[in-house]
Amino acid sequence: MPGMKHSATLAEVVAYCDERTRIAAVKDFPGSRNGLQFQNSGKVTKIGAAVDAGLVPFRMAAERGIDFLVVHHGLFWKPQEPVTGPVYEKYAALIQNDIAVYGSHLPLDAHPEIGNNALLARKLGMTVSKWFLPYEGTPIAALCDTGALHRTELSARLRTLFPKAFRAIECGAEVPGKVAILTGSGRSALDHLKAQGCDTLITGELRQEHFNEAQEAGFNLYMCGHYATEVFGVHALAKELGERFGLPVEFVATGCPL
């Protein structure tokens, strides 16, 4: 391939990620710390993608020769902890194997092209018609007009895409017309569905209490796994990096069932 490179600088890879994910424009939850979270010695030769920044994904990345890892759930969700035990082991794995970690949470949920919601809609054969549920000015949930699509067909598509985690609670319309998508945790979308003329939500996870709420409010709720619904964004960004800089790319799957 013309222009193929065997390495890129950490600075240019980070700059591309920052611009592509609109990091400066998207405010996130405290602790997300989007952007470069852990640097390496400055050279990138292989791109990796993982949902979570954890010890096992870091070790798997090291085994695969990955030195730039894009993650959705980054390193800093908890308050600062002593660098002992698993925290030390995570940092040691990164330093010893010269791995940089780049975190992108809400920017990779809300992105209209390479975001989790938009990509899931595309995989289901849907087009996003509207974004809603703003967090600090950025809408993070997608709304799709589905026309005459019956929920039986919707369930079949979801079950095919998420065979292990798929669960359904069907108390809403048999032909929803509109479907909301909020990957990961979907609780924050429930109170806003009816205002969007929608009674159907595709998400990663909900709580037991939402079964009663679905019955009482008349919702169709489709839970497909927090982890499983958030593999798309990091994979898409990593793929773009590979194409941009001529580097190999690998997704680090941990098999999380939740």
Contacts of 28 (CB under 8 A, 6+ apart): 34, 105, 106, 107, 135, 136
φ, ψ at 211 (rounded to 5°): -65, -50
Dump pLDDT digits (tens) for 181-219.
Answer: 999 999 999 999 999 999 999 999 999 999 999 999 999
User: If one looks up domain 109-229 in CATH, what number appears?
Assistant: 3.40.1390.30
φ, ψ at 177 (rounded to 5°): 80, -45
pLDDT(78) > 90: no
pLDDT(1) > 60: no
Question: What are the sequence ranges of the domains in the chain?
Answer: 8-104+231-250, 109-229
**HEC per residue, 49-87:** EEEECCHHHHHHHHHCCCCEEEEEECCCCCCCCCCCHHH
- DSSP summary character for residue 229: G
pLDDT(2) > 50: no
Note whether 8-104+231-250 and 109-229 share their fold. Answer: yes
Is the pTM for the entire model greater than 0.85?
yes
pLDDT(95) > 60: yes
pLDDT(104) > 50: yes
pLDDT of residue 155: 98
Looking at domain 8-104+231-250, what is its CATH homologous superfamily?
Answer: NIF3 (NGG1p interacting factor 3)-like (3.40.1390.30)
